[in-house]
């Protein structure tokens, strides 16, 4: 029965998926930020397409951009000196150069094909769908023949969870018994400078994991997650360059930074002569349309705000670590990860001593093994 299930077409996973919001390869980093803030999504796709008057047009998604890419880009010394100039850089300069992160598949590809692509390194599977723009002219797309949606690890794991009864007793086994706890983890001490996490942020974004923040006893006290950073704005680059890892957790939490933390960042920017970045911070925290206290409680507020809300439709902005225990069942951990919209869960002992991490990738490997060589 499980083998038959793996033959399901991925078009089943695309039902209800909206068309991708798209940018062309000629867009700037500033264009990408605007698209993210207007859409409320955490990613925007980058496309290479032919001209509209070409008879046969083949569009390809060549990458994706999120606020984490922008923030890391702005943390470069040169860009901190001239952040507004840096935002006019072509968007391809900050698109990941790692091959295989975006994969195009046809709607009749199987679920097994999708899982294999993900396990080979694909983060997003791009699937053509019927054109929705005729029925909803407010959605602007670049594609003259098809619209597209994309599938993620989360979509595939949710689909598996919804049909968990197909998989016999495996979901009831503990994550320890299944040996899916990865001990190769990214951590930083709470007192370490946040700037030291920059290589880890890039790595965690690529591997779709997170950075654990620990105390001197190796107990997990929080995290710096790309899922959280993706819901922030570009001024977080200033916080990374000036705060400790522990203070950065507070700065990026969904409640927003305290006035004291904001003033601390501004003072340290001044000390480091990052005057242009300080001007950006001043504008952001003095303009009532840009301040993080701006509410997105209504659609009108959301679209009228110049800053809008990056990741407004994504509930993952939190600095509290998502945790489970070695004795938790696979199904319990899957439910927790899907509910909180993250691709990982930290594994800790009863006293919060860090053991490792469980990821969607390891979970998919477990299900993939059931299909054998089919």
For residue range 57-69, list pLDDT tens digits in order.
Answer: 578 899 999 999 9
Q: What is the pLDDT of residue 132?
A: 47
Q: What is the pLDDT of residue 160?
A: 92
Instruction: Tell which residue, 151, 163, 123, has the closest CA to residue 334.
Output: 163
- 3-class secondary structure, 322: coil
- 24-51: average pLDDT: 90
pLDDT digits (tens, 9 = 90+) for 306-322: 344 554 444 455 657 88
Is pLDDT at 374 greater than 60 in this prediction? no
Is pLDDT at 147 greater than 80 in this prediction? yes
Lowest mean per-residue pLDDT among 32-36, 56-60, 98-102, 366-370: 56-60
Q: What is the pLDDT of residue 137?
A: 41
CA-CA distance, 331 to 173, in Å (whole number)?
8
Q: 261 with 72: CB under 8 angstroms?
A: no
How many CB atoms neighbour CB 108 within 10 A? Answer: 9
CATH number of 1-152: 3.10.580.10
Is pLDDT at 277 greater than 90 in this prediction? yes
Q: What percentage of the chain exceeds 90 in pLDDT? A: 65
Is pLDDT at 302 greater than 70 in this prediction? no
Q: What is the pLDDT of residue 313?
A: 44
Is pLDDT at 54 greater than 90 in this prediction? no
Output DSSP code: residue 88.
T
Instruction: Tell which residue, 40, 44, 78, 42, has the closest CA to residue 61.
Output: 44
- 196-215: average pLDDT: 95
Q: 58 with 34: CB under 8 angstroms?
A: no
- 43-47: average pLDDT: 93
Instruction: Tell which residue, 51, 72, 241, has the closest CA to residue 143.
Output: 51
- 360-374: average pLDDT: 84
Q: What is the pLDDT of residue 40?
A: 81
Is pLDDT at 33 greater than 60 in this prediction? yes
Q: What is the pLDDT of residue 53?
A: 53
Cα separations in angstroms, 214 against 93, 167, 207, 245: 33, 36, 20, 10
19: left (phi over 0), alpha (psi -120 to 50) or beta: beta
Q: What is the pLDDT of residue 299?
A: 33
Q: What is the pLDDT of residue 319?
A: 57
pLDDT digits (tens, 9 = 90+) for 103-146: 999 999 999 999 999 999 999 999 998 654 444 444 445 544 57
- Please give the mean pLDDT across all residues of the chain: 85
Gyration radius from the chain CA atoms: 21
Choose between 196 and 6: higher pLDDT.
196
Q: What is the pLDDT of residue 101?
A: 93
> Considering the entire predicted model, what is its pTM?
0.86
- 269-276: average pLDDT: 94
In terms of average pLDDT, the best of 133-147, 168-182, 280-294, 295-309 is: 168-182
Q: In the chain, where are the structural domains located?
A: 1-152
324-355 burial code (b ≥16 CB/10 A, e <16): bbeebbbebbbebbbeebbbbbbbbeeebebb
- 142-158: average pLDDT: 82
């Amino acid at each position: 029965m499980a083998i038959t299930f793996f033959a399901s077409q991925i078009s089943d996973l695309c039902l209800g998926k909206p068309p991708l919001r798209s940018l062309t390869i000629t867009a700037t980093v500033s264009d990408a930020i605007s698209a993210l803030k207007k859409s409320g999504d955490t990613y925007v796709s980058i496309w290479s397409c032919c001209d509209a008057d070409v008879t046969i047009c083949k569009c390809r998604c060549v990458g994706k951009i999120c606020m984490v890419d922008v923030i890391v880009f702005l943390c470069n010394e040169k860009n901190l000196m001239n952040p507004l100039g840096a935002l006019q850089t072509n968007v391809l300069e900050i698109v990941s150069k790692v091959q295989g992160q975006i994969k195009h598949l046809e709607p009749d590809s199987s679920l097994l094909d999708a899982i294999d692509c993900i396990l080979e390194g694909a983060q997003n599977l791009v699937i053509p769908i019927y054109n929705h723009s005729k029925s909803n002219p407010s959605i602007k797309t670049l594609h003259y023949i098809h619209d597209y949606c994309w599938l993620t690890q989360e979509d595939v794991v949710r689909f598996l969870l919804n049909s968990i009864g197909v998989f016999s007793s495996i979901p009831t086994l503990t994550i320890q018994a299944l040996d899916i706890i990865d001990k190769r983890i990214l951590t930083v001490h709470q007192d370490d400078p946040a700037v030291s996490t920059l290589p880890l942020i890039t790595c965690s974004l690529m591997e779709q994991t997170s950075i654990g923040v620990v105390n001197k006893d190796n107990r997990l006290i929080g995290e710096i997650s790309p899922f959280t950073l993706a819901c922030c704005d570009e001024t977080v680059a200033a916080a990374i360059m000036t705060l400790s890892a522990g203070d950065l957790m507070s700065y990026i939490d969904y409640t927003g930074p305290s006035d004291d933390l904001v003033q601390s960042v501004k003072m340290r920017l001044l000390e480091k002569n990052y005057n242009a970045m300080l001007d950006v911070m001043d504008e952001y925290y003095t303009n009532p349309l840009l301040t993080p206290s701006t509410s997105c409680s209504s659609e009108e507020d959301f679209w009228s705000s110049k800053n809008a809300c990056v990741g407004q439709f994504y509930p993952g902005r939190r600095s509290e670590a998502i945790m489970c225990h070695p004795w938790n069942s696979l199904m319990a951990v899957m439910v927790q990860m899907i509910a909180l919209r993250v691709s990982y869960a930290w594994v800790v002992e009863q006293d919060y001593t860090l053991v490792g991490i469980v990821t969607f990738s390891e979970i998919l490997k477990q299900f993939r093994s059931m299909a054998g060589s089919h």
